[in-house]
Amino acid sequence: MASPQVNPPTPAQPDWTDQVTGLVVDTVDSVRDMTTGPVLKASRGLVFGTIALLTLVFLGIAGLIFAGRAIALAPIPEWMSYLIIGVVFTIAGTVLMGKRFAK
């Protein structure tokens, strides 16, 4: 007996509704990426920048407190430690005020 001839199944043609749905989804994703992408990047930059700025301010204040305490522990008169801190701040303020009108 001969074995029956079996025709391989033909691949099913994709339904046109699936193609249209895919096209609509791709278009919506593309438009969304072009419109909300820059806004998301800007908002993330703003949030991370604010966090970085607050961290730097905190570390700066903590560093100044630490420096003041370290100078106060030095074997010099107490008024001398205040004078050193005052001179440092006066020089920093003079430099910053001089840059205020820089061209």
Helices (H), ranges, 2-77: 16-72
Give the model's pLDDT for residue 12.
Answer: 63
Q: What pTM does this model have?
A: 0.56
Region at 8 (left for phi over 0; alpha for psi -120 to 50; beta for the rest) = beta
pLDDT of 1 strictly over 60:
no
Q: What is the mean pLDDT of the chain?
A: 87
Q: Which amino acid is at 92?
A: A
Q: How far apart are CA 51 and CA 34, in angstroms?
A: 27
Give the model's pLDDT for residue 11.
Answer: 60
Residue 84: which of 62, 99, 69 has the closest Cα?
69
Where do the domains of the chain lie? 39-103
The percent of residues in the chain predicted with pLDDT above 70, rounded, is 86
